[in-house]
Amino acid sequence: MADATDNVAKDSSGPRKDTDSPRPLAKAAPNPAMLFFQGLASLRLTVVLLFLGSLLVFFGTLAQVDQGIWQIMSKYFRSFIVLIPLDIFTVFSSRHGIDEPIAGLFPFPGGWTIGFLLLANLLAAHALRFRLRVGILTLHAGLVILLLSEFITGVFAIEMRMDITEGSSSNYAYDIREAELIVVDTSGEEEDRVVAIPQSKLIEGQVIQHEALPFDIEVLSFFENSKLEKITPPKQSEATFGTGLFYEAVDQPVAAGTGTDQQVDSPAAYFTLRQKGTDSTIGTCMTSCAFNVPFRDDWETIPQRQIVDGKPYEVHLRYRRYYKPYSLYLQDFSFDKYPGTETARNFSSMVHLTDPARGVDREVLIWMNHPLRYQGETFFQSSFKPDETGTVLQVVRNPGWLMPYISCTMISLGLIIHFTQTLSKFLRRELAK
Protein backbone atom coordinates (compact mmCIF):
# COMPACT_ATOMS: atom_id res chain seq x y z
CA MET A 1 0.00 0.00 0.00
CA ALA A 2 1.29 3.40 -0.93
CA ASP A 3 2.31 5.56 1.95
CA ALA A 4 3.62 9.02 2.46
CA THR A 5 7.17 8.01 1.62
CA ASP A 6 6.13 6.91 -1.83
CA ASN A 7 4.50 10.23 -2.35
CA VAL A 8 7.66 11.95 -1.26
CA ALA A 9 9.72 9.93 -3.77
CA LYS A 10 7.34 10.79 -6.60
CA ASP A 11 7.45 14.45 -5.55
CA SER A 12 11.17 14.60 -5.97
CA SER A 13 11.08 13.33 -9.51
CA GLY A 14 8.41 15.50 -11.08
CA PRO A 15 5.81 18.26 -10.65
CA ARG A 16 3.15 17.76 -7.90
CA LYS A 17 -0.46 17.02 -8.86
CA ASP A 18 -3.52 18.15 -6.93
CA THR A 19 -4.56 14.55 -6.25
CA ASP A 20 -1.33 13.90 -4.25
CA SER A 21 -1.45 13.93 -0.40
CA PRO A 22 -0.21 17.14 1.26
CA ARG A 23 3.55 17.60 1.75
CA PRO A 24 4.60 17.61 5.42
CA LEU A 25 5.88 21.08 6.40
CA ALA A 26 9.55 21.45 7.38
CA LYS A 27 9.99 22.61 10.98
CA ALA A 28 10.70 26.45 11.07
CA ALA A 29 13.96 27.65 12.68
CA PRO A 30 13.22 29.39 16.01
CA ASN A 31 13.26 33.22 15.84
CA PRO A 32 15.67 34.45 18.59
CA ALA A 33 13.74 37.67 19.02
CA MET A 34 10.48 35.76 19.48
CA LEU A 35 12.11 33.40 22.00
CA PHE A 36 13.35 36.37 23.98
CA PHE A 37 9.92 37.98 23.79
CA GLN A 38 8.23 34.78 24.99
CA GLY A 39 10.69 34.46 27.86
CA LEU A 40 10.06 38.08 28.82
CA ALA A 41 6.31 37.44 28.87
CA SER A 42 6.46 34.25 30.92
CA LEU A 43 4.64 33.81 34.21
CA ARG A 44 7.70 32.12 35.68
CA LEU A 45 9.59 35.38 35.29
CA THR A 46 6.80 37.20 37.14
CA VAL A 47 7.08 34.82 40.09
CA VAL A 48 10.88 35.07 40.19
CA LEU A 49 10.78 38.89 40.11
CA LEU A 50 8.18 39.08 42.88
CA PHE A 51 10.34 36.79 45.00
CA LEU A 52 13.44 38.93 44.35
CA GLY A 53 11.41 42.00 45.28
CA SER A 54 10.44 40.43 48.60
CA LEU A 55 14.07 39.61 49.31
CA LEU A 56 15.12 43.17 48.50
CA VAL A 57 12.58 44.53 50.97
CA PHE A 58 13.92 42.12 53.60
CA PHE A 59 17.55 43.14 53.00
CA GLY A 60 16.64 46.83 53.00
CA THR A 61 14.83 46.44 56.32
CA LEU A 62 17.88 44.81 57.92
CA ALA A 63 20.18 47.52 56.54
CA GLN A 64 18.14 50.24 58.28
CA VAL A 65 19.68 49.20 61.61
CA ASP A 66 22.81 51.16 60.67
CA GLN A 67 21.76 53.50 57.90
CA GLY A 68 19.12 56.19 57.43
CA ILE A 69 15.89 55.63 55.55
CA TRP A 70 16.83 57.92 52.65
CA GLN A 71 20.18 56.20 52.17
CA ILE A 72 18.43 52.83 52.00
CA MET A 73 15.83 54.17 49.57
CA SER A 74 18.58 55.50 47.32
CA LYS A 75 20.93 52.50 47.53
CA TYR A 76 18.48 49.61 47.55
CA PHE A 77 15.24 50.71 45.94
CA ARG A 78 16.18 53.54 43.57
CA SER A 79 19.12 51.87 41.92
CA PHE A 80 19.76 49.19 39.31
CA ILE A 81 22.31 47.16 41.23
CA VAL A 82 23.00 47.13 44.97
CA LEU A 83 26.04 45.70 46.72
CA ILE A 84 24.63 44.29 49.91
CA PRO A 85 27.07 43.95 52.81
CA LEU A 86 26.93 40.65 54.66
CA ASP A 87 27.15 42.75 57.80
CA ILE A 88 23.41 43.32 57.74
CA PHE A 89 22.96 39.77 59.02
CA THR A 90 24.82 40.50 62.26
CA VAL A 91 21.43 41.34 63.75
CA PHE A 92 20.85 37.55 63.79
CA SER A 93 24.35 36.45 64.79
CA SER A 94 24.47 38.90 67.70
CA ARG A 95 21.46 37.14 69.23
CA HIS A 96 23.62 34.06 69.50
CA GLY A 97 26.47 35.89 71.15
CA ILE A 98 28.51 36.43 67.97
CA ASP A 99 29.34 40.13 67.78
CA GLU A 100 32.07 40.14 65.17
CA PRO A 101 31.27 41.94 61.93
CA ILE A 102 30.82 39.79 58.83
CA ALA A 103 33.06 40.92 56.00
CA GLY A 104 32.11 40.82 52.35
CA LEU A 105 29.25 41.85 50.14
CA PHE A 106 27.18 40.43 47.29
CA PRO A 107 25.48 42.03 44.30
CA PHE A 108 21.71 42.00 44.02
CA PRO A 109 19.29 43.56 41.53
CA GLY A 110 18.14 46.96 42.76
CA GLY A 111 14.55 48.12 42.96
CA TRP A 112 14.61 49.76 39.55
CA THR A 113 15.90 46.62 37.84
CA ILE A 114 13.18 44.48 39.41
CA GLY A 115 10.52 47.12 38.74
CA PHE A 116 11.58 47.67 35.14
CA LEU A 117 11.63 43.93 34.45
CA LEU A 118 8.20 43.53 36.04
CA LEU A 119 6.92 46.30 33.80
CA ALA A 120 8.50 44.74 30.71
CA ASN A 121 7.10 41.34 31.75
CA LEU A 122 3.59 42.76 32.07
CA LEU A 123 3.72 44.63 28.74
CA ALA A 124 5.18 41.63 26.90
CA ALA A 125 2.55 39.31 28.38
CA HIS A 126 -0.16 41.68 27.21
CA ALA A 127 1.32 41.93 23.74
CA LEU A 128 1.63 38.15 23.44
CA ARG A 129 -0.99 36.36 25.51
CA PHE A 130 -3.82 38.45 26.82
CA ARG A 131 -6.96 39.03 24.86
CA LEU A 132 -8.41 42.53 24.87
CA ARG A 133 -10.81 42.36 27.80
CA VAL A 134 -11.81 45.58 29.47
CA GLY A 135 -11.42 44.29 33.03
CA ILE A 136 -7.95 42.81 32.60
CA LEU A 137 -6.81 45.76 30.50
CA THR A 138 -7.94 48.28 33.12
CA LEU A 139 -6.42 46.30 35.96
CA HIS A 140 -3.07 45.88 34.25
CA ALA A 141 -3.02 49.49 33.06
CA GLY A 142 -3.39 50.47 36.73
CA LEU A 143 -0.41 48.27 37.59
CA VAL A 144 1.66 49.87 34.83
CA ILE A 145 0.82 53.33 36.17
CA LEU A 146 1.73 52.22 39.70
CA LEU A 147 5.15 50.95 38.58
CA LEU A 148 5.73 54.08 36.49
CA SER A 149 4.75 56.34 39.38
CA GLU A 150 7.56 54.93 41.51
CA PHE A 151 10.09 55.62 38.71
CA ILE A 152 8.82 59.16 38.31
CA THR A 153 8.78 59.78 42.05
CA GLY A 154 12.29 58.37 42.44
CA VAL A 155 13.69 60.47 39.60
CA PHE A 156 11.76 63.75 39.85
CA ALA A 157 10.38 64.09 43.37
CA ILE A 158 12.08 66.41 45.84
CA GLU A 159 11.22 66.69 49.51
CA MET A 160 12.21 69.91 51.22
CA ARG A 161 11.65 71.98 54.34
CA MET A 162 10.76 75.62 54.75
CA ASP A 163 11.34 77.30 58.10
CA ILE A 164 9.74 80.67 58.73
CA THR A 165 9.79 82.82 61.85
CA GLU A 166 6.71 84.86 62.72
CA GLY A 167 6.88 88.28 61.16
CA SER A 168 9.31 87.24 58.44
CA SER A 169 9.09 85.59 55.06
CA SER A 170 10.91 82.93 53.09
CA ASN A 171 11.32 82.33 49.37
CA TYR A 172 13.29 79.10 49.48
CA ALA A 173 13.05 75.54 50.76
CA TYR A 174 15.97 73.23 51.51
CA ASP A 175 16.64 69.49 51.21
CA ILE A 176 18.16 68.01 54.38
CA ARG A 177 19.36 64.93 52.47
CA GLU A 178 21.77 66.84 50.29
CA ALA A 179 24.35 69.57 50.81
CA GLU A 180 25.80 72.18 48.50
CA LEU A 181 28.86 74.38 48.72
CA ILE A 182 28.20 78.00 47.83
CA VAL A 183 30.59 80.83 47.02
CA VAL A 184 28.82 84.16 47.51
CA ASP A 185 29.90 87.51 46.08
CA THR A 186 28.49 89.87 48.72
CA SER A 187 29.74 93.08 47.09
CA GLY A 188 26.33 94.03 45.67
CA GLU A 189 24.04 96.52 47.40
CA GLU A 190 20.75 94.74 46.74
CA GLU A 191 21.78 91.27 45.55
CA ASP A 192 24.27 88.52 46.28
CA ARG A 193 25.73 86.50 43.41
CA VAL A 194 25.83 82.81 44.30
CA VAL A 195 27.75 79.94 42.70
CA ALA A 196 26.36 76.63 43.97
CA ILE A 197 28.39 73.39 43.79
CA PRO A 198 26.34 70.19 44.32
CA GLN A 199 27.42 67.61 46.91
CA SER A 200 28.16 65.08 44.17
CA LYS A 201 31.21 67.19 43.21
CA LEU A 202 32.61 67.48 46.76
CA ILE A 203 34.95 64.50 46.56
CA GLU A 204 37.99 64.37 48.81
CA GLY A 205 41.17 65.20 46.94
CA GLN A 206 39.35 66.80 44.01
CA VAL A 207 40.06 70.35 42.86
CA ILE A 208 36.94 72.15 41.66
CA GLN A 209 37.54 74.60 38.84
CA HIS A 210 34.80 76.55 37.10
CA GLU A 211 34.65 79.81 35.16
CA ALA A 212 32.04 81.22 37.55
CA LEU A 213 34.28 80.68 40.59
CA PRO A 214 36.74 83.41 41.66
CA PHE A 215 39.21 80.76 42.88
CA ASP A 216 39.87 77.03 42.69
CA ILE A 217 38.61 74.91 45.56
CA GLU A 218 40.42 71.84 46.80
CA VAL A 219 38.26 69.48 48.86
CA LEU A 220 40.48 68.38 51.76
CA SER A 221 37.81 66.33 53.50
CA PHE A 222 34.05 65.85 53.41
CA PHE A 223 31.98 64.31 56.21
CA GLU A 224 28.41 63.16 55.49
CA ASN A 225 27.68 63.66 59.16
CA SER A 226 29.73 65.49 61.73
CA LYS A 227 29.77 67.21 65.07
CA LEU A 228 31.59 70.40 65.97
CA GLU A 229 34.08 70.43 68.84
CA LYS A 230 35.82 73.44 70.33
CA ILE A 231 39.53 73.51 69.64
CA THR A 232 41.43 73.74 72.90
CA PRO A 233 45.14 74.56 73.05
CA PRO A 234 47.66 73.14 72.37
CA LYS A 235 45.64 71.68 69.51
CA GLN A 236 45.84 73.89 66.44
CA SER A 237 43.22 74.52 63.86
CA GLU A 238 43.58 73.26 60.31
CA ALA A 239 41.64 76.32 59.14
CA THR A 240 43.17 79.72 58.54
CA PHE A 241 39.96 81.76 58.54
CA GLY A 242 36.34 81.57 59.66
CA THR A 243 34.65 79.51 62.35
CA GLY A 244 37.16 76.72 61.77
CA LEU A 245 39.65 78.80 63.76
CA PHE A 246 37.68 77.93 66.90
CA TYR A 247 35.85 74.71 66.06
CA GLU A 248 36.81 71.50 64.32
CA ALA A 249 34.50 69.15 62.47
CA VAL A 250 34.67 65.53 63.62
CA ASP A 251 33.41 62.74 61.38
CA GLN A 252 30.35 60.93 62.72
CA PRO A 253 28.36 57.91 61.49
CA VAL A 254 25.30 58.85 59.47
CA ALA A 255 22.00 58.87 61.33
CA ALA A 256 20.55 55.33 61.53
CA GLY A 257 16.99 54.56 60.47
CA THR A 258 16.37 52.83 63.77
CA GLY A 259 17.70 55.68 65.87
CA THR A 260 15.18 56.94 68.40
CA ASP A 261 16.37 60.55 68.29
CA GLN A 262 15.77 60.89 64.53
CA GLN A 263 18.70 63.30 64.10
CA VAL A 264 19.38 64.96 60.78
CA ASP A 265 22.84 64.45 59.29
CA SER A 266 25.05 67.55 59.50
CA PRO A 267 27.62 67.47 56.69
CA ALA A 268 30.87 69.40 57.11
CA ALA A 269 33.98 69.84 55.03
CA TYR A 270 37.43 71.40 54.88
CA PHE A 271 38.40 73.33 51.76
CA THR A 272 41.54 75.08 50.57
CA LEU A 273 41.02 78.05 48.30
CA ARG A 274 43.69 78.61 45.65
CA GLN A 275 44.39 81.30 43.09
CA LYS A 276 42.88 80.15 39.82
CA GLY A 277 45.13 77.77 37.89
CA THR A 278 47.93 77.93 40.47
CA ASP A 279 49.03 76.23 43.68
CA SER A 280 49.09 79.53 45.53
CA THR A 281 46.90 79.20 48.64
CA ILE A 282 44.39 81.88 49.63
CA GLY A 283 43.24 80.13 52.80
CA THR A 284 41.75 77.01 54.35
CA CYS A 285 38.33 76.96 55.96
CA MET A 286 35.97 74.55 57.65
CA THR A 287 32.31 74.94 56.96
CA SER A 288 29.34 72.94 58.17
CA CYS A 289 25.64 72.75 57.42
CA ALA A 290 25.19 73.40 61.15
CA PHE A 291 26.19 77.03 60.45
CA ASN A 292 23.29 77.56 58.10
CA VAL A 293 20.34 75.92 59.80
CA PRO A 294 17.33 78.26 60.02
CA PHE A 295 16.40 79.37 63.55
CA ARG A 296 20.13 79.13 64.43
CA ASP A 297 22.06 82.03 63.02
CA ASP A 298 24.61 82.65 65.78
CA TRP A 299 27.40 81.25 63.61
CA GLU A 300 27.18 84.01 61.02
CA THR A 301 29.18 86.48 63.05
CA ILE A 302 32.39 84.64 62.27
CA PRO A 303 32.59 85.33 58.56
CA GLN A 304 33.84 82.69 56.18
CA ARG A 305 35.11 85.49 53.97
CA GLN A 306 38.05 86.17 51.70
CA ILE A 307 38.80 89.22 49.56
CA VAL A 308 39.78 88.27 46.02
CA ASP A 309 40.45 90.94 43.37
CA GLY A 310 38.95 93.51 45.70
CA LYS A 311 35.63 91.68 46.15
CA PRO A 312 34.46 89.91 49.32
CA TYR A 313 33.49 86.26 48.87
CA GLU A 314 31.93 84.03 51.47
CA VAL A 315 32.17 80.23 51.47
CA HIS A 316 29.39 78.17 53.07
CA LEU A 317 28.26 74.57 53.16
CA ARG A 318 24.51 74.36 53.55
CA TYR A 319 21.58 72.09 52.86
CA ARG A 320 20.70 72.35 49.17
CA ARG A 321 18.31 75.23 48.57
CA TYR A 322 15.55 75.57 46.00
CA TYR A 323 14.56 79.20 45.51
CA LYS A 324 10.97 79.98 44.54
CA PRO A 325 9.59 82.84 42.43
CA TYR A 326 7.10 83.44 45.26
CA SER A 327 7.37 83.92 49.02
CA LEU A 328 5.45 82.98 52.13
CA TYR A 329 5.16 85.45 55.00
CA LEU A 330 4.28 83.90 58.37
CA GLN A 331 1.68 86.08 60.02
CA ASP A 332 0.91 83.80 62.92
CA PHE A 333 1.80 80.33 64.12
CA SER A 334 -0.70 78.73 66.45
CA PHE A 335 -0.15 75.68 68.67
CA ASP A 336 -3.37 74.47 70.29
CA LYS A 337 -3.30 72.02 73.16
CA TYR A 338 -6.12 70.08 74.78
CA PRO A 339 -7.32 72.15 77.74
CA GLY A 340 -5.41 71.42 80.91
CA THR A 341 -2.82 69.26 79.15
CA GLU A 342 0.37 69.59 77.15
CA THR A 343 -0.97 67.25 74.49
CA ALA A 344 -0.98 68.83 71.05
CA ARG A 345 -4.40 69.15 69.47
CA ASN A 346 -3.51 71.14 66.38
CA PHE A 347 -0.89 73.46 65.00
CA SER A 348 -1.39 75.80 62.13
CA SER A 349 0.34 78.54 60.18
CA MET A 350 -1.41 81.60 58.79
CA VAL A 351 0.78 82.64 55.86
CA HIS A 352 0.57 85.31 53.22
CA LEU A 353 1.42 84.02 49.76
CA THR A 354 2.89 86.59 47.38
CA ASP A 355 3.74 85.80 43.75
CA PRO A 356 4.32 89.07 41.85
CA ALA A 357 4.70 87.36 38.43
CA ARG A 358 1.26 85.76 38.71
CA GLY A 359 -0.42 88.56 40.65
CA VAL A 360 -1.10 86.29 43.63
CA ASP A 361 -1.45 88.02 46.97
CA ARG A 362 -3.57 86.11 49.48
CA GLU A 363 -3.74 84.63 52.95
CA VAL A 364 -3.68 80.90 53.41
CA LEU A 365 -4.11 78.78 56.51
CA ILE A 366 -1.92 75.68 56.53
CA TRP A 367 -2.72 73.17 59.21
CA MET A 368 -2.51 69.47 59.92
CA ASN A 369 -3.83 67.43 56.95
CA HIS A 370 -4.75 70.65 55.13
CA PRO A 371 -1.75 71.56 52.99
CA LEU A 372 -1.28 74.42 50.57
CA ARG A 373 -0.92 73.30 46.96
CA TYR A 374 0.74 75.88 44.74
CA GLN A 375 2.72 75.71 41.48
CA GLY A 376 3.15 71.94 41.57
CA GLU A 377 4.35 71.94 45.19
CA THR A 378 2.53 70.94 48.34
CA PHE A 379 3.22 72.64 51.68
CA PHE A 380 2.38 70.53 54.73
CA GLN A 381 2.37 71.69 58.35
CA SER A 382 5.21 69.56 59.67
CA SER A 383 6.65 70.97 62.87
CA PHE A 384 7.48 74.22 64.65
CA LYS A 385 10.24 76.19 66.34
CA PRO A 386 10.72 75.09 69.97
CA ASP A 387 9.59 78.44 71.36
CA GLU A 388 6.50 78.35 69.09
CA THR A 389 7.43 81.53 67.23
CA GLY A 390 8.16 79.84 63.95
CA THR A 391 6.82 77.13 61.70
CA VAL A 392 8.41 74.26 59.81
CA LEU A 393 6.65 73.31 56.58
CA GLN A 394 7.37 70.18 54.58
CA VAL A 395 7.47 71.09 50.90
CA VAL A 396 7.02 68.28 48.40
CA ARG A 397 7.44 68.53 44.65
CA ASN A 398 6.31 65.31 42.99
CA PRO A 399 4.95 65.43 39.44
CA GLY A 400 3.68 61.89 39.90
CA TRP A 401 1.71 62.50 43.09
CA LEU A 402 -1.64 61.77 41.47
CA MET A 403 -0.53 58.54 39.81
CA PRO A 404 -0.93 56.18 42.80
CA TYR A 405 -4.53 57.41 43.26
CA ILE A 406 -5.32 56.88 39.57
CA SER A 407 -3.61 53.50 39.71
CA CYS A 408 -5.55 52.27 42.72
CA THR A 409 -8.81 53.43 41.15
CA MET A 410 -8.05 51.64 37.89
CA ILE A 411 -6.97 48.43 39.63
CA SER A 412 -10.15 48.41 41.73
CA LEU A 413 -12.30 49.15 38.70
CA GLY A 414 -10.53 46.49 36.63
CA LEU A 415 -11.05 43.88 39.33
CA ILE A 416 -14.74 44.74 39.64
CA ILE A 417 -15.25 44.58 35.86
CA HIS A 418 -13.29 41.36 35.45
CA PHE A 419 -15.00 39.55 38.31
CA THR A 420 -18.41 40.78 37.18
CA GLN A 421 -17.78 39.51 33.65
CA THR A 422 -16.54 36.15 34.94
CA LEU A 423 -19.49 35.83 37.32
CA SER A 424 -22.05 36.69 34.66
CA LYS A 425 -20.53 34.18 32.23
CA PHE A 426 -20.65 31.53 34.94
CA LEU A 427 -24.28 32.31 35.79
CA ARG A 428 -25.32 32.27 32.12
CA ARG A 429 -23.69 28.85 31.73
CA GLU A 430 -25.42 27.51 34.80
CA LEU A 431 -28.79 28.86 33.73
CA ALA A 432 -28.35 27.36 30.26
CA LYS A 433 -27.94 23.84 31.77
Partner 1 sequence: MSNHRRFLLLATCIVGTLLSGCAKEEITEYTVDKPKPPYRLLAAMVPQLEKTWFIRMQGPRTDIEQNKAAFDTFVASLQFDANADNPIQWKLPDGWVESDKKTVGGFRRYATLKVGPEAESTEVVVTSLEGAGGSILPNVNRYRRQLGRPPLKQHQLPYAVKKQMLGDIEITRVDIKGKRPAAPSALPSHGGGPMSQ
Q: Are the C-beta atoms of residues 383 and 163 closer than 8 Å to each other?
A: no
Closest-CA residue to 163 (of 391, 397, 395) = 391
Q: Which of 11, 166, 238, 355 binds partner 1 (CB under 8 A)?
A: 166
Per-residue binding string, partner 1, 40-59, x by CB under 8 A, is --------------------
Could you say whether residue 309 binds partner 1 (CB under 8 A)? no
3-state secondary structure of 32: helix
Q: Which is nearer to partner 1, 112 or 347 (CB)?
A: 112
Could you say whether residue 155 binds partner 1 (CB under 8 A)? yes
The DSSP output letter for 163 is E
The 3-class SS string of 42-110 reads CHHHHHHHHHHHHHHHHHHHHHCCCCCHHHHHHHHHCCCEEEEEHHHHHHHHHHHCCCCCCCCEEEEEC
Q: Which is nearer to partner 1, 7 or 354 (CB)?
A: 354
Q: Which stretch binds partner 1 (CB under 8 A): 46-54, 116-124, 219-227, 250-258?
A: 116-124
Angle between helices 111-128 and 32-40 (to 10 degrees): 110
CB atoms within 10 A of CB 194: 16
Q: How many residues does the chain have?
A: 433
Q: Which stretch binds partner 1 (CB under 8 A): 55-63, 298-306, 337-345, 423-431?
A: 298-306
| Phi, psi angles (nearest 5°) of residue 356 | -60, -35
- Tell which positions 344-383 bind partner 1, by CB under 8 A: none
- Tell which positions 378-407 bind partner 1, by CB under 8 A: 389
Minimum distance from CB of 368 to partner 1 (Å)? 25
The DSSP output letter for 31 is P
Q: Which stretch binds partner 1 (CB under 8 A): 64-72, 207-215, 369-377, 420-428?
A: 207-215
Q: Which is nearer to partner 1, 63 or 289 (CB)?
A: 289
Q: Bridge-partner residues for 163, per DSSP? A: 392
Minimum distance from CB of 21 to partner 1 (Å)? 34
Minimum distance from CB of 399 to partner 1 (Å)? 10
Binding site for partner 1 (CB under 8 A): 33, 37, 112, 116, 119-120, 123-124, 127-128, 148, 151-152, 155-156, 165-168, 188-198, 200-201, 208, 210, 212-213, 246, 296-298, 301-303, 323, 389
